[in-house]
Amino acid sequence: MIVELHRVSKQYRDNTALREVSLSIPAGSVFALIGSNGAGKTTAIKILMNLVAPTHGHAMVLGTDSRKLSVEQYARIGYVSENQKLPPRMRVSEYLRYLRPFYPAWDTALEARLIEQLRLPPERKIGALSHGMRMKMLLACALPYRPELLVLDEPFNGLDPLIREDLMDTLIEQCGDITILISSHELTEIETFVSHIGFMDSGRLLVQEPVAELSGRLREVRVTLQRPPPAPADLPREWVNVHTVGNVLSFVDTRFSEGGFNSRLHSALTGVREVDVQPLDLRRIFTTLMRASRAEALE
């Protein structure tokens, strides 16, 4: 694994930002860490980048404890954050020229292509860049040395759709063999190209899984019965977000399988008249798991 968190917790006085989070990111994957604002995504990333220390547990990056990352290892990591500081008085071209000597693998031809593709103004001062252009600038600073790991912390936050599309196109084109860790509270921009996903809520990691497996095992089910359905407490625990309206029972099956679904359904329910099963997109999967987790915490 290129990135690992082992039972990591982070306490800020009275606020627990992370609660025993364990996470594994395989090399070559595009891993999306999804959660609402305040879920703990940025804290987890800062621990990985050794910007803050964990209260408990430890993190591994490129096979090394994140608290012991060397200069050489940092040269194999690209990091882009919406809160990243840049020298406002330097011009775009000047700052890129300043960075080159720090990275032996810096590719000036790739740098030139990125400037053209992202439509960056080389002679403009960084302080005069719009928020969208600033995010493009950060990406243009992180890609020319072809990092093994690219970490993107909320890169699309507050951007207009056209700039988001420019950034996405660049990422998809350049990712190649790079492992990408991207945090976001939005799924629309990234769900088409991520390979693995982790959902966070209130400092906890609810699930981490390859997208194909996660999408394959969750289904929205609507069952019409001959008589009113049993109480939710009498239904299988893997059926979550249960709702009943008259003789219609709706739920999300979190352990769906084509071969075993009908037998499990008929063993739990009698008088089944009609069944409708539909897949869920990643946004619905996230909200489903988050609501189920919060409901379980209240029990």
- Domain ranges in the chain are 3-209, 219-279
Span 253-294, pLDDT tens digits:
999 988 888 888 988 888 889 999 999 988 888 888 888 777
For the segment 154-170, the average pLDDT, to the nearest whole number, is 77
Q: Specify the higher pLDDT residue, 224 or 185.
A: 224
Q: What is the DSSP letter of 2?
A: -
- Does the pLDDT of residue 111 top 50, yes or no? yes
- Which among 278, 73, 46 has a CA at the least distance from the CA of 181? 46
R_g of the chain computed on alpha carbons: 23
What is d(CA 275, CA 2) in angstroms, rounded to the nearest whole number? 43
> What pLDDT score was predicted for residue 169?
78
3-state secondary structure at position 164: helix
For the segment 157-183, the average pLDDT, to the nearest whole number, is 79
Q: Which two tokens stand for residue 293?
A: 């987790």
> What pLDDT score was predicted for residue 161?
76
CB atoms within 10 A of CB 293: 16
> What pLDDT score was predicted for residue 96?
95
Give the DSSP letter string of 25-36: E-TT-EEEEE--
Look up the pTM and report it.
0.86
- Does the pLDDT of residue 237 top 80, yes or no? yes
> What pLDDT score was predicted for residue 295?
65
Span 179-202, pLDDT tens digits:
999 998 777 767 778 899 999 988
What average pLDDT does the structure give for the chain? 88
What is d(CA 9, CA 58) in angstroms, rounded to the nearest whole number? 9
Q: Where are the beta strands (DSSP E) in the chain?
A: 3-12, 15-25, 30-34, 56-61, 64-65, 77-81, 149-153, 179-184, 196-201, 204-210, 219-225, 239-245, 248-253, 272-279
- Does the pLDDT of residue 297 top 60, yes or no? no
For the segment 202-229, the average pLDDT, to the nearest whole number, is 91
> What pLDDT score was predicted for residue 84?
86
pLDDT > 90 in the chain, percent: 53
Q: Is 157 exposed, middle or buried (0-12, 13-18, 19+ CB in 10 A)?
A: middle
The CATH number of the structural domain formed by 3-209 is: 3.40.50.300
